[in-house]
Amino acid sequence: METFFLANRYLHIATGFVGFFVAPVALAVRKGGPAHRLWGRVFFWAMAVAGTTALVGAQHIHNLFLLLTAVFSLYMAAFGYRSLYLKPLAWDARVAPGDWATAGVGLAVFLGTVGYAVVARNIPVGIFGAIGGLTAARQLRGYANAGRWNKNQWLLNHISGFMAAYIAAVSAFSVTSLHFIPFPYNFLWPTVLGVPVIAWWQRRVQRQQGVPVAR
């Protein structure tokens, strides 16, 4: 059994590093082009495997931080990837039951995470839980308004989901490897730097498209 968990750990590290270095490449190349789609898919699957192996590893070593980071990263990566297929919600009000279920379960999990953070007085966990909860709540509100989405809402969701997953990956790397940064700053600095980048990127898309973000 230990051999299995050791292999799981190595696979987690390998795919985590792939996602860590591939995400900037996907951002740097022309958006919507073949290279962007290729590296975007590589990043998504790297995050999917890294998140899944983190879930397995967290159960083995009883590491709550690893578990919560894995859940957050998986949810955000799925949110960003799924948004590519939700372009029709700008004119079609039909939302797949799986989308409703995923957002609903995500909201419940993240609200539970916030509750735990309040009881444990764990600010970093509370921040990740709050971001995840707000994302899930916004998804549910967006599904309720399906058929009336702005035409670029799927793109804004795609950006925020993938970049939030990347922030989670960098946070995990920082906590586990950058030991010279004290807690909770080792957890929070990627969020402090990454959230303004997401906001800037979304404003850039809005200016280019001339369409405001759906509320």
Is the backbone of residue 190 left (phi > 0), alpha (psi -120 to 50) or beta?
alpha
At residue 96, the 3 state secondary structure works out as coil
Whether the pLDDT of residue 172 is over 60: the answer is yes
Total-model pTM: 0.88
Look at residue 121 in the predicted model and tell me its pLDDT.
Answer: 86
pLDDT tens for each residue of 118-145: 998 888 888 889 999 999 999 999 999 9
CA distances from 58 to 13, 27, 32, 116, 168 (A): 13, 30, 36, 17, 15
